[in-house]
Amino acid sequence: MNKDNIIHKNAPDSTVIDKEVTNAGCCCGHAHAVNQEQGRRKRKRKIILLIAGAFIFVAGIAAEHFFDRYPYVSAVLFIAGYIVLGGEVVIRALGNLAKGRVFDEHFLMSVATIGAFAIGEFPEAVAVMLFYQVGECFQEAAVRKSRNSIADLMDIRPDYANVRRNGEIIKVAPETVDVGEHIFVKPGEKIPLDGLIVEGSGMLDTKSLTGESLPRSVEPGDTALSGCISQDGLLTIKVTKPYGESTVAKIMHLVENASEKKAQAENFITKFSKYYTPAVVLLAALLAVVPPLIIGDGWAEWINRALVFLVISCPCGLVISIPLGFFGGIGRASRCGILVKGGNYLEALGDLDIIVFDKTGTLTKGVFEVTKIHAADGYTEAEILEIAAYAESHSNHPIAVSIGKAYNGAIDERKLGGYKEIAGYGVSVELEGKKILAGSGKLMENEGVTFDESDDIGSKVYVAQGGEYAGCIVISDKVKPDSREAVIGLRARGVRKIAMLTGDNKLIAEKIGEDMSIDEVYAELLPHEKVEKLETIGAGKRPKGKLAFVGDGINDAPVLARADIGVAMGGLGSDAAIEAADVVLMNDDPSALVTALEIAKSTRRIVWQNIIFALGVKGVILLLGAFGFAAMWAAVFADVGVALLAVLNSTRILRAKSS
């Protein structure tokens, strides 16, 4: 039989997949496409109305200039232009009025412009609506741009899953696939659900999940996360989680709900607008009525000033640009593989005073690796590793697995015999007739073997052959390449104290802490003791400072929830840790936290620039308008111009430099 036929006997034929039955799985993608098409149509209609309204406005100005004998011509054109440009605003204001929402930007715009018509300022009334619509178009373009990075992330949503049922491979909605079923992923397709690869190998594009550009190699036995794209392999995957608990579903949930949690600056503007808008309406009414009553005439002049005052007072520059700023910051972070669950957490990152790290899986890889081999006289390192690999070949202990991986050679079972596991000490086995011992120093002592005790940090496996000491293998959890860089970067960006909490051995923890210049190290802690220690550390925060805890394991969930900001490692982190966290680092690199801090600080700086600029300009022009030095054109700039400049400033967040 042909070898290829044996290998691919159970693999799906691509021609079969191409003829699959289309099921409900396509609905999700179809709905997304429909929404996109509706959005395009709406934008196209708006642009057409804007161009038409601008043309009518220009025609009205020309008619006013060249047909001054027939003022009704320009009046008709201005009214027509106003309906085209401002009709939607007036309708929305009336709708909000019916719902009890009186003091919003649509109400202010409608009152001011209709009032302008009433006092004969036709061109100014239409100009307000024209520039308002221009500003709206720029605002929508800025929002679309800031959403692009999040939209890219949202594209990880799989539209369908290829599953074998009743001997036939069909397309179904990922939500309908049960745990234990086998799904098939062709090159170029997204993995729809989390699972284990049972057949096939290849490279996975994980960029949408982790932000990493380098693909990851997978083979049978490896975990496949939903949202990744198979680049070159036909994979058979056994589903281990339902769609609702899959990686892609959780990320989608985090992103979709991120904008619901407002930052303090956003809450400030919400409260500010609640009192500000009624106040300026009242001031405008007093401005229109009180001075004429006192001086006895000039009603038209003071009503005009009041209307100008109303247009200037619109807070849309703040209302639009500040949420857009935080939304842009969240989008920028997601592009870097950092999921922030809300604007409040993004803002809090900018106030970090203390950071507490877990060790295993956070600062270290969380995987046992052979780091050193000490060979006794007469032996080489390769020989020690081979002897230990044979001795540990029947064990599934993580230390035994790490020795096997380091050896990476074939084990000839015919050479082995007399395997015996000595609980708590190690193993004894015969290798080609010679007795091999591999285990702790206690094992060597019990067997009467004289050995050189190693003082290296890590787990030690001492090896003896024929009653003679052969050497020692040191196995430890390696520090991640960028952990030290992360600590240095965090200090450079204003973090005052960095601590480490771990349940690991005290000597190992202190050695890692010393190597990385960590201020405080607390080891051999149980989960509840971590929470207690975190609270003790947190008591030393600056008044407005925040404390962040960075962890990855299920035992970190209580500490993540207790910290001001919980940061979870998303690639290898547990589900419980990711659920409890406020920020998720999808690439598992501690240095991503430095990037998150830079984005948070850039976002805050730009948002407060908008607040100060908008309030400053409006304050000055409001005074000028009240005293008659600002016409309706100045009011247009104070409203639409300030909003537009603030929105454009907010888009800078997407280009914020990060390292």
The CA-based dihedral angle spanning residues 531, 534, 539, 542, taken in that order and rounded to the nearest 10 degrees: -140
- Nearest CA to 130 out of 80, 167, 165 is that of 80
Beta bridge pairs of residue 522: 501
Cβ–Cβ under 8 Å, residues 614 and 317: yes
Alpha-carbon span 429 to 445, nearest angstrom: 17
Which amino acid is present at 551? G
Alpha-carbon span 136 to 50, nearest angstrom: 10
Cβ–Cβ under 8 Å, residues 569 and 364: no
Q: In degrees, to the nearest 5, what angle opens at C-alpha 314 toward C-alphas 311 and 319?
A: 160
With the C-alpha atoms ordered 250, 253, 259, 261, is the resulting torsion angle positive or negative?
A: negative
Cβ–Cβ under 8 Å, residues 613 and 106: no
The CA-based dihedral angle spanning residues 527, 532, 537, 541, taken in that order and rounded to the nearest 10 degrees: 120
Q: What is the largest CA-CA distance in the chain?
A: 120
With the C-alpha atoms ordered 125, 129, 134, 139, is the resulting torsion angle positive or negative?
A: positive
**What distances in angstroms separate CA 53 from CA 29, 71, 418, 488, 636, one per listed residue?**
36, 19, 92, 57, 17
In the block, tokens 């999808």 appear at 586
Distance spanning both ends of the chain, measured CA to CA: 55
**Token couple for 645:** 């400049």
Cβ–Cβ under 8 Å, residues 188 and 230: yes
The CA-based dihedral angle spanning residues 255, 259, 263, 268, taken in that order and rounded to the nearest 10 degrees: 180
Cβ–Cβ under 8 Å, residues 11 and 234: yes
**Token couple for 630:** 């600002």
SS (H, E, C) 388-399: HHHHCCCCCCHH
With the C-alpha atoms ordered 388, 394, 400, 405, is the resulting torsion angle positive or negative?
A: positive
Beta bridge pairs of residue 476: 369
**What distances in angstroms separate CA 238 from CA 235, 455, 564, one per listed residue?**
10, 44, 38
**Residue 74 Cα to chain centre, angstroms:** 53
SS (H, E, C) 417-452: EEEEEECCCEEEEEECCEEEEEECHHHHHHCCCCCC
Cβ–Cβ under 8 Å, residues 296 and 115: no
Phi, psi of 561, deg, nearest 5: -70, -30
Alpha-carbon span 645 to 400, nearest angstrom: 63
By annotation, the residues acting in catalysis are 358
**How buried is 297 (Cβ within 10 angstroms: 0-12 exposed, 13-18 middle, 19+ buried)?**
exposed
Phi, psi of 383, deg, nearest 5: -65, -40
